[in-house]
Structure 1
Amino acid sequence: MNALGEWPESQGRGRRPLMMALFPSVFLFFLTQVVVDAFSETHSMWVRVSVIVTVTLYAVTYVVALWRGPCSSRRVRVIYVLVCTVYPIVLALIMDADELTYLTYAVVVSLILLPALVGLAYGIASTAAVLIATAVQHGLPDFQSGAILMVLTVAIFASRGFARKTDELELARDEIRTLAVAEERARVARDLHDVLGHSLTTITLKAGLARRILESSPDVDRAIAEVHDVERLSRLALTEIRATVSGYRKMSLPAEIANARAALLAAGIDADLPQAVDDVPGELQEPFGYVLREAVTNVIRHSGASRCEIRLGDSWIEVADNGAGLSAVDSRDGNGLAGLRERLAKVDGSLTAEPRGEGGFLVRADVAT
């Protein structure tokens, strides 16, 4: 139920409105008292019949209002409250002013169907009506009946607040679950892109190199070595994919430097790489490893470069090439560098990917210190 007293459509058709009708309906048992009074005292037959008809209609309207009202329009909900208000007034006119105590059911309907403050005001007004009517008829307000109405009003008003908070918590849990699923899907897609992009690029280069050796050179041993590398890389890629799907994959910056060296060499690109990663904090080695992998993959695929330089600092990494500045094929709109920006954002980092003034392309990641 929202602040206007409206149930969401999904809840309006679900179990909760039915339960809201069934549980309070148990208290309709107390309406039988006015029927007993009508038959136990000296009342005419028309009064008794009128009481039975009024009580029956009151009970039916009450149940229907609680069952169908929450998923009805605002105007219909107001009508439910007004109709429920008429019945205890009719009972009071037929029997006695004390019968206005049965406004309790109308108060329940108003607090469930109307906005919270409107329902509270209705309960207070009903209490005042009972006190005034009994004071006019008997000369003394019926404070006991007034207290019953007031306590009921406050109790249901408070219960409605708790119910609203419960609904908000349920919606928040649903949203958290949805976000968790979306995040996990994004993680798997991002990691698979990083794993497959680099691994398949390297495998393709190695396989092509082995083919060229077999076609143009009698150096079978070297070709076999390249084929062994292809087999090793394929097994490694399969292992990484399994680890990615299960969520246990960890990036190693030193391993990525070694892999970058082998991939660039297979592509015929001169590589200038750092010899150590000791200056890089442990929490940055994983995101920097992803930056290195994606940038080197783009250099091999798109740049047409003959040289690639990789530089490392304690809070930054650069991958630059001397190619035609075409690495932007993947960096502008592709998933690769977009995924890197997401990874770096988690460590308060940023990514720059742009052509260099002297030619080539530069990818740089910086982390705020």
Structure 2
Amino acid sequence: MPVRESGTTERKSIWSIFRPGYDGACDDPTAAPARYHGPDEAAPFTFRRAAQNRVWIYAFGLVFLLFALAVVTEDEPSPTELILRIALVLLIAVGYLATAWVADCSLRVRWLYLAGYTGVLIASYPTWGWSLVGYGAYVSIMMAMLLPWRQSRIAVVVLGLLIALTIPFGGGETAIYISVVAAGTGLAAGAGMEAGAAQGRLHRAEQRVSTLSVAAERERIGRDLHDILGHSLTAISIKAGLAARLVDIDPTAAKAQIAEIEQVSRQALADVRTTASGMHEVRLATEIASARSVLLAAGIESRMPSALPALGDRVSELLGYVVREAVTNVVRHSRAGICTVVVEPAAVEIRDDGRGLGAGGRPGSGLAGLQSRVEAAGGTLHVGSGGTGGTVVRADLRPVETDRENGPRDRAVSAP
């Protein structure tokens, strides 16, 4: 068994070096996507720093330079021209590898480096002719790794178009192929890095929300305990002192004070237990407040009710679970811009303007389990597509609201 676990850990470790992580991602909008941000950052422009910036990925790309070396002796070049061709290949290789170090530079320096690298390729035209367009994929990858996504996606497309423009002037079939490859690989790499960064921002936002929620809960418990025990212990202290003074003078009155001390102590103990058990209770109001924070951290506009109708404990708990699961799915899967929550006396509806369930889409295991919970309580859960797109999750607990704890119906409360 230990051998299997060791092998699994090794496979995960090897795979992790080829995919962008997000645990140490940076919120700086000008930072290079390929730059490592995390614990134990090495000094800039060192070999250890290059390893952190995944220099081996660029080294793997140098395999394609073998095609250039294969034709370096074509057309029987003179010794001078041969040396120049070899020097250009080495310069192109070193410049591409240096991307791992340049990732730590400022945005202006990174743009200048890309311009200089492109200039070297253009300067090789007298030696290579239009074969130089074969290096366009290197430039597109460098753009994806060094430039913010909002800039690289435009720069990569422009680069692909410029390579395509060389077709009438002698670029030929190579230019057609490279223009497509350069645009495709650059956009794919840039989008992948941006997705990793977005996932990192969401991950850190969830951590911050979780930390703030724990801090707020601790503050609430501390405040409640202070209010409960402060009053109760003060009353106990005063009555105990009074009973001590009366025990010899008026034993009957002293017994009465001791009985009151016992009553106050029992009530304080019950209040403390109630306060502690509140840590594990799910309530609709709490989940709506938490959902608002999570949606804000994920960059999704939230439209929540400003007030809630009177709800019994059972209904409030069930609707709270519905809001929690639905909002979690909105953040993880919907790619929505707006999330709206509508609360009625015994129902709640969560809708978004995201990509929806899609053709043949079905709710996941989380909503399936939630449906079982709602149906067990006598209610219904509906998950489907909205009229104008997106997804709608609606839980209706009207059969449950006849419980004694729910009280009278109130009018529906919806988001503005």
TM-score range, shorter chain: 0.5 to 0.7
The question of 1:26 aligning with 2:57 is answered no
Alignment of 1:42-57 (within 5 A): 42-57=76-91
Aligned CA distance change for structure 1 residues 281 and 104 (closer, same or farther; 3 Å): closer
Alignment of 1:60-79 (within 5 A): 60-69=94-103, 71-79=104-112
| CA–CA distance in structure 1, aligned partners of residues 239 and 121 of structure 2 | 89
Q: Which residue of 2 aligns with 1:219?
A: 250
Task: State the 1:207 CA deviation.
Answer: 1.5
Which of 12, 17, 37 is matched with 2:37 structurally?
12
Alignment of 1:74-113 (within 5 A): 74-113=107-146
Preserved contact between residue 217 and residue 279 of structure 2 (Cα < 8 Å): no
Aligned CA distance change for structure 1 residues 249 and 91 (closer, same or farther; 3 Å): closer
Which of 55, 73, 92 is matched with 1:58 structurally?
92
Task: State the 1:230 CA deviation.
Answer: 3.6
- Number of residue pairs matched by the alignment: 252
| Greater displacement, 74-83 / 134-143 | 134-143
Structure 1 residues without counterparts, runs of 5 or longer: 251-279, 284-367
Preserved contact between residue 92 and residue 100 of structure 1 (Cα < 8 Å): no
Preserved contact between residue 104 and residue 152 of structure 1 (Cα < 8 Å): yes
Residue 55 of structure 1 aligns with an amino acid whose one-letter code is V
The C-alpha deviation readout for 1:224-261, integer Å capped at 9, x for no partner, is 453465466457646755764565699xxxxxxxxxxx
Preserved contact between residue 199 and residue 233 of structure 1 (Cα < 8 Å): yes
| CA–CA distance in structure 2, aligned partners of residues 232 and 7 of structure 1 | 66
Alignment of 1:305-324 (within 5 A): none
Alignment of 1:125-144 (within 5 A): 125-137=158-170, 142-144=175-177
Q: Secondary structure at the match of 2:237?
A: helix
Which of 209, 218, 233 is matched with 1:176 structurally?
209
Q: Secondary structure at the match of 2:76?
A: coil
Aligned CA distance change for structure 1 residues 245 and 197 (closer, same or farther; 3 Å): same
Preserved contact between residue 134 and residue 175 of structure 2 (Cα < 8 Å): no
| CA–CA distance in structure 2, aligned partners of residues 126 and 11 of structure 1 | 26
Task: State the 1:39 CA deviation.
Answer: 4.3
The C-alpha deviation readout for 1:112-163, integer Å capped at 9, x for no partner, is 3224343233223322333334532367773122222222233234324423
Aligned CA distance change for structure 1 residues 204 and 147 (closer, same or farther; 3 Å): same
Q: Which residue of 1 aligns with 2:391?
A: none
Residue 58 of structure 1 aligns with an amino acid whose one-letter code is I
Preserved contact between residue 203 and residue 230 of structure 1 (Cα < 8 Å): yes
Q: Which residue of 2 aligns with 1:304?
A: none
Aligned CA distance change for structure 1 residues 281 and 30 (closer, same or farther; 3 Å): closer
| CA–CA distance in structure 1, aligned partners of residues 279 and 206 of structure 2 | 26
Structure 2 residues without counterparts, runs of 5 or longer: 1-25, 42-48, 282-309, 314-409, 412-416
Q: Percent identity?
A: 27
Aligned CA distance change for structure 1 residues 66 and 236 (closer, same or farther; 3 Å): farther
Preserved contact between residue 47 and residue 94 of structure 1 (Cα < 8 Å): yes
Aligned CA distance change for structure 1 residues 125 and 205 (closer, same or farther; 3 Å): same
Aligned CA distance change for structure 1 residues 140 and 113 (closer, same or farther; 3 Å): closer
Task: State the 1:102 CA deviation.
Answer: 0.9
| CA–CA distance in structure 2, aligned partners of residues 145 and 180 of structure 1 | 51
Q: CA RMSD in A?
A: 3.9
The C-alpha deviation readout for 1:317-349, integer Å capped at 9, x for no partner, is xxxxxxxxxxxxxxxxxxxxxxxxxxxxxxxxx
Q: Secondary structure at the match of 1:38?
A: coil
The question of 1:209 aligning with 2:235 is answered no
Task: State the 1:50 CA deviation.
Answer: 3.3
| CA–CA distance in structure 2, aligned partners of residues 192 and 199 of structure 1 | 10
The C-alpha deviation readout for 1:183-234, integer Å capped at 9, x for no partner, is 22222222221222222122122123213323xx522354245346546645
Q: Which residue of 2 aligns with 1:190?
A: 223
Task: State the 1:41 CA deviation.
Answer: 5.9
| CA–CA distance in structure 1, aligned partners of residues 85 and 252 of structure 2 | 106
Q: Secondary structure at the match of 1:108?
A: helix
Specify which structure has the higher proportion of helix.
1
Aligned CA distance change for structure 1 residues 210 and 144 (closer, same or farther; 3 Å): same
Q: Secondary structure at the match of 2:98?
A: helix
Preserved contact between residue 3 and residue 115 of structure 1 (Cα < 8 Å): no
Preserved contact between residue 97 and residue 134 of structure 1 (Cα < 8 Å): no
Q: TM-score, normalized by length of structure 1?
A: 0.55
Residue 44 of structure 1 aligns with an amino acid whose one-letter code is S
Q: Secondary structure at the match of 2:231?
A: helix
The question of 1:159 aligning with 2:192 is answered yes
Q: Which residue of 2 aligns with 1:145?
A: 178
Preserved contact between residue 81 and residue 106 of structure 1 (Cα < 8 Å): yes
Structure with greater Cα Rg: 1
| CA–CA distance in structure 2, aligned partners of residues 173 and 11 of structure 1 | 21
